[in-house]
Chains A and B, each alone.
Chain A
Amino acid sequence: MRPLKFLLMKEFRQLFRDKGFIGRLLIAPALQLVLLPLAANYTIKNVNIAIVDHDHSSISKKMVDKIMSSGYFRLAGYSDFNSKANKLIENDKADIVLEIPVNFEKDLIREGGRKIAIEVNAINGVKASVGFGYLSGILTDYNADIRMQWVEPSRTNSLPVIDVIPSFWYNPALTYYIYMVPAILVSLVTTIAGLSAAFNIVKEKEIGTIEQINVTPIKKYQFILGKLIPFLVMGFIVFTVGLLIAWVVYGIIPVGHIALLCLFLEVFLIAILGFGLLISTYCDSQQQANSLMFLFMMVFNMMSGLYTPIDSMPGWAQFITHLFPISYFIDVMRMIVIKGSGLHDILHQIGAVLIIGIVLNTWAALNYRKTT
Chain B
Amino acid sequence: MKETVIKTNKLTKRFGDFVAVDEISFEVHRGEIFGFLGANGAGKTTAMRMLCGLSIPTSGEANVAGFDVFRETEEIKKNIGYMSQKFSLYEDLTVLENIEFYAGIYGLTDKEIKDKSDELISKLGLRNEAKKLVGSLPLGWKQKLSFSVAIVHQPKIVFLDEPTGGVDPSMRRQFWDLIYDAADKGITIFVTTHYLDEAEYCNRVSIMVDGRIDALDTPAGLRKQFGVGTMDEVFYKLARQAKRSAD
| A residues lining the B interface (CB < 8 Å) | 2-3, 5-7, 9-10, 13-14, 17-18, 207-209, 211-218, 370-372
Q: How far is the CB of B55 from chain A (nearest CB, A)?
A: 5
| The one of B55, B87, B92, B106 that contacts A17, using a Cβ cutoff of 8 Å | B92
Residue numbers in B under 8 Å from A17 (CB-CB) = 92-93
* A216 in contact with B106 (CB, 8 Å): yes
* B82 in contact with A3 (CB, 8 Å): no
* B92 in contact with A215 (CB, 8 Å): no
Binds A, one of B71-79, B192-200, B221-229: B71-79
Q: Helix, strand, loop or mixed for chain B's interface?
A: loop
Binds A, one of B36-44, B95-103, B204-212: B95-103
Q: How far is the CB of A226 from chain B (nearest CB, A)?
A: 9
Q: Mark B74-91, 1 if CB is under 8 A from A, else 0.
A: 100110101011111111
Q: Could you give 20 example pairs across A and B, Cβ below 8 Å?
A: A2-B104, A2-B107, A3-B107, A5-B104, A14-B90, A14-B92, A14-B93, A17-B93, A209-B90, A211-B82, A211-B84, A212-B88, A213-B105, A215-B52, A215-B82, A216-B77, A216-B106, A371-B54, A371-B55, A372-B54
5 closest cross-chain pairs (CB), A and B: A6-B104, A208-B86, A212-B88, A215-B82, A3-B105
Contacts A212-B84, A217-B107 known; 8 new A-B pairs at CB < 8 A: A13-B93, A207-B88, A208-B86, A209-B89, A216-B77, A216-B105, A218-B105, A371-B55
Q: How far is the CB of A347 from chain B (nearest CB, A)?
A: 40
Residue numbers in A under 8 Å from B73 (CB-CB) = 370-371
| B residues lining the A interface (CB < 8 Å) | 52-56, 73-74, 77-78, 80, 82, 84-93, 97, 100-102, 104-107
| B113 nearest CB neighbor, chain A only | A6
Roughly how many angstroms separate A205 CA and B82 CA in the complex, as a whole number? 16
| A206 nearest CB neighbor, chain B only | B86
Residue numbers in A under 8 Å from B100 (CB-CB) = 6, 9
* A10 in contact with B97 (CB, 8 Å): yes
* A217 in contact with B82 (CB, 8 Å): no
Q: How far is the CB of A370 from chain B (nearest CB, A)?
A: 8
* B107 in contact with A211 (CB, 8 Å): no
Roughly how many angstroms separate A217 CA and B105 CA in the complex, as a whole number? 8
